[in-house]
Amino acid sequence: MTADIPRLARLLDDAVRNATAVAQISATEALTLQQAYEVQRQSIERRLARGERRIGVAMGFTSRAKMEQMGVHDLIWGRLTNAMIVEDGSTISRKRFVHPRVEPEVAFLLRKPLSGIVTAMQARDALEAVAPALEIIDSRYQNFRFSLTDVVADNSSCSGLTIGPWSSPHQPLDNLGIRVMVNGRAHSFGSTAAILGDPVRSLVGAAGLVAISGEVLEAGHIVMAGGAMAAFELHVGMHVELEVDRLGRTSFTVAE
Ligand code: 0L1
Ligand code: MG
C-alpha cells in the first residue's frame, strides 16, 4: 500500500500543535527512510505556511548515550524553525509539550553554506560561531517510544532550543567539559567528546545528510550538534542550566 504522506505530515503537525501524543506510525505503516524524511519535510512545510521561518537543523543520535537511551543507532536530522527558539534565561510553559525532555548540546552558526561530502577542515571553515545550547525534545509518540522512521517523520523530536553566548569557533571543541545543573544543583557531567569524538564531525554529518534530501546548510543557519548525554524529563518548577567550558552558560525555567 502507498503511504499517504500528506496525511501523516498533518497527523504529526496536529500532534505538535495540540501537544497530544499519537500512536507510532510504524505500528500501521512501513515507511522507508526516504518517505519518513518526506513526512518530516511536509509537516515542517505546514509550519512555514503558518508563518514560521527555517533557522537550521538539529542532528540526532550523535552520541552513544543518546543511541543507547532510545535504541536508535543511525545519525538523523530534523528541521529547526524560529518558533522553536526559547530565549536564553526565559520560561517555557509545560503545557506546550507532550512529555518534554532536555539534553545538553553545542550549536554552530554558519557563515558559509555547506552541503554534501565535506572535510572537517571545510566544515570548520564554514563556521561563524559556536555556543552552548540546550535542546528541548518532545516525541509526539505515546510513551516517547519510536522506531528510526517514526522519529525521523516526527522531525527528530525537535521542539525547542536555548542558545547561550556565541564564541569564536577557532578553538579546540573536541573535549570541553559539560555541566548540567537543575535548580542550582549538579545534575550531570560530560564532555563534548561524547558527540562523535568532536562536535565538528556532527556538522560534517549534517552536510552529508541534508544533501541526500537536496538541501543545503545555509549561511546564517544554526546546526545543533546532538545531545552529548541522555536526555532527562522536564517538570514544572525546574530551572535547567548548562555550562560548557570556555563557551559559557545557557538556561531556562519550566512553568505550568
Ligand atoms: O540530540 C539527539 O540525539 C536527539 C535525538 C532525537 C530523538 C530523541 O531522542 O527523541
Ligand atoms: Mg538533540
Predicted pLDDT of residue 1: 60
Q: What residue type is assigned to position 198 of the chain? A: D
Note the pTM of the prediction, 2 decimals: 0.97
pLDDT 10s digits, 4-29: 999 999 999 999 999 999 999 999 99
pLDDT of residue 15: 98
The finding on whether 77 has its CB within 6 A of some atom of ligand 1 is no
- Number of compact structural domains in the chain: 1
- Residue numbers in the chain where pLDDT is lower than 50: none
Is the Cβ atom of 227 under 6 angstroms away from ligand 1? yes
Give me the domain span that covers residue 22: 5-255
- What's residue 2's pLDDT? 82
pLDDT at position 111:
98
Q: What is the CATH number of the domain that holds 193?
A: 3.90.850.10
Measured by CA distance, the residue closest to atom 4 of ligand 1 is: 60
pLDDT at 86: 98
Per-chain residues with Cβ under 5 A from ion ligand 2: 135, 227
